[in-house]
Amino acid sequence: MKPTACRALASAAALVLSVCAAHADEKSVGKGMAWTIMEDLTVETGQRLAGSPEEAAAREWAVTRLKALGFQNVKNEPFTIRGYVRGHDSAWLTAPYPHKLAITALGYSGTTPEGGVSGDVVYFPTLDAIKAAPAASLTGKIAFIDHAMKANQDGSGYGPYGNVRRQGPGIAAAKGAIGVVIRSIGTDNHRNPHTGAISWPAGVSAIPAGAVSNPDADIIARVARSGKLMRLSLTLTGRTQENMPSGNVIADLPGRDPSLPMIIVACHLDSWDLGMGVIDDGAGCAIVTAAALKVQEGGKPLRTIRVLWAGAEELGGLGGQAYAKAHAKEPHALAMESDFGADRVWNVKFTRLAPQVAESIKTALNPLGIVPNAGAADGGADVDAIIKAQKLAVIDLAQDGTRYFDLHHTPDDTLDKVDPAQLQQNVDAWTAVLKIVATEGGALIAP
């Protein structure tokens, strides 16, 4: 396209987008119950790192609020976890040029002395590149692992690129590195690093491991291309701690027929500590809770709907595992989870759902702009264990993830990032689905 044509079209395009944004604002004047739950939770509890006193306070908050909203059997169900306690995080590129880097420790990072550790940097453009490095080749060095994750609507890049964070530190440690820094697993270009948990392999001792923001990683990549020797000074004083308190909060809307296996709808209450835990996952808790209540507005549902606000999801779905163990004897029929931000639902997937129920759901969701997707529904980390244990039917209401990894696990996970109109579309979609499944007296699980 010619620049002049581009300019004219871009102006028209910008106008359309601004009109549409204004439209969304108008719609949001009455922000509704989901917004209220999300705002109150995240403002009144702040960050809710798994195992922290703030997560515990948030459980108390949740119990109080869910009771006030009319839920029954509201319970705080404690369990203990291996957690991570943040210390001071800082990093400097000290050679060839001085740059203070925006860094965060990753969850379960090793601990540096207060004065930090320093080393020459070995640059790896990909996870495969560090995998291919010879054994012991990183002895005394700090590894830097780059990658090229891009935004996409279904968030599927998080699987492969997320491995840079999950596996990269263990690979570096096994080859002798004294520290490891990765490009954040994120798609924004702000000076905010993305945290998240590491999976250390058995037999490998944790080393200090952090993520720098994308603009900081760009500096490192530029200098790497110059071939000049890079040195990094890394201070990450946090530590891993055993036997920290976490817990789930559960709350029921009892059905008219207690003999029917229940429906469980989940989110997670814990968050990473850099932001406010709004899109991850205060919004999810708000969506599932507001939708369940909306269903009950039309009268008591046939089946019980249980809401699970899980703890310690961010450290490996620990709340979901605790739930499945504690509630193994209660019959469940169907599980759903909301844990992918607050942008609009654009497709629906089913696993083991009775076909006639799936057809009703497809019809109900079509006016909301939601189309069927042929892939399998997998629920999510908070319901994964109970799904597997009881072979449940699963429905995924897949949200638009284009912006999700701009914000996920960063300081930027704050209220202003939520579009009230899209949040409400989520509630509408969840309400439509829950109405159908909670009034279905026949089998929900396909034979």
- If binding is defined by CB under 8 A, does position 282 make contact with its own copies? no
Cis before 273? omega within 30: no
The CB-of-354 to its own copies minimum distance in angstroms stands at 31
Helix H or strand E encompassing 407: helix 404-407
Q: Are 89 and 235 in contact (CB under 8 A)?
A: yes
The CB-of-297 to its own copies minimum distance in angstroms stands at 24
Minimal CA–CA distance to 434: which of 282, 304, 283? Answer: 304
The CB-of-191 to its own copies minimum distance in angstroms stands at 4
- DSSP string for residues in 242-274: EEEEEEEEEEEE--S-TTSPEEEEEEE----SS
- If binding is defined by CB under 8 A, does position 415 make contact with its own copies? yes
Touching its own copies, residues 100-129 (CB under 8 A)? 100, 102
Residues in the interface with its own copies (CB under 8 A) total 49
Using a 10 angstrom Cβ sphere, with 0-12 exposed, 13-18 middle and 19 or more buried, the burial of residue 446 is middle
- Residue (7 or 131) nearer to its own copies, CB: 7
Q: Which residues contact 86 (CB under 8 A, 6 or more apart)?
A: 49, 105, 238, 273
What track of x and - describes contact with its own copies for positions 33 through 72 (by CB under 8 A)?
------x---xxxxx------x------------------
Minimal CA–CA distance to 169: which of 208, 122, 140? Answer: 208
The CB-of-153 to its own copies minimum distance in angstroms stands at 12
- Residue (100 or 300) nearer to its own copies, CB: 100
Amino acid symbol at 344: R
Touching its own copies, residues 232-251 (CB under 8 A)? none
Selected binder of its own copies within 222, 325, 388, 391 (CB under 8 A)? 222
Touching its own copies, residues 294-353 (CB under 8 A)? none
Amino acid symbol at 284: G
Q: Which residues contact 151 (CB under 8 A, 6 or more apart)?
A: 157, 187, 401, 402, 403, 405, 406
Angle at 45 between CA 43 and CA 48, to 5 degrees: 120
Distance CA 123, CA 118 (A): 15
The CB-of-369 to its own copies minimum distance in angstroms stands at 7
Distance CA 381, CA 367 (A): 29
Q: Which stretch binds its own copies (CB under 8 A): 117-125, 190-198, 254-262, 312-320?
A: 190-198
Cis before 96? omega within 30: yes
The torsion angles phi and psi of 323, rounded to 5 degrees, stand at -65, -45
The CB-of-97 to its own copies minimum distance in angstroms stands at 5
- If binding is defined by CB under 8 A, does position 417 make contact with its own copies? yes
The CB-of-158 to its own copies minimum distance in angstroms stands at 21
Selected binder of its own copies within 128, 242, 297, 416 (CB under 8 A)? 416
Q: Are 247 and 57 in contact (CB under 8 A)?
A: no
- Residue (20 or 376) nearer to its own copies, CB: 20
The CB-of-418 to its own copies minimum distance in angstroms stands at 11
- If binding is defined by CB under 8 A, does position 12 make contact with its own copies? yes
Q: Which stretch binds its own copies (CB under 8 A): 98-106, 123-131, 201-209, 284-292?
A: 98-106
- Residue (47 or 246) nearer to its own copies, CB: 47
Selected binder of its own copies within 31, 99, 239, 362 (CB under 8 A)? 99
What track of x and - describes contact with its own copies for positions 425 through 444 (by CB under 8 A)?
--------------------
The CB-of-220 to its own copies minimum distance in angstroms stands at 10
For residue 277, the SS3 value is coil
The CB-of-211 to its own copies minimum distance in angstroms stands at 15
- If binding is defined by CB under 8 A, does position 1 make contact with its own copies? yes
- If binding is defined by CB under 8 A, does position 214 make contact with its own copies? yes
Distance CA 403, CA 21 (A): 16
DSSP state of 281: I
The CB-of-286 to its own copies minimum distance in angstroms stands at 16
Selected binder of its own copies within 51, 119, 245, 275 (CB under 8 A)? 275
C-alpha 180: how far from chain center: 23
- Residue (22 or 328) nearer to its own copies, CB: 22
- Map 181-231 to HEC letters: EEECCCCCCCCCCCCCECCCCCCCCCCCEEEECHHHHHHHHHHHHHCCCCE
In the numeric block, the tokens 């080859």 are attached to 175
Contact footprint for its own copies (CB under 8 A):
1, 3-4, 6-7, 9-10, 12-14, 16-17, 19-20, 23, 27, 39, 43-47, 54, 96-100, 102, 189-192, 214-215, 218-219, 222-223, 275-276, 369, 410-412, 414-417
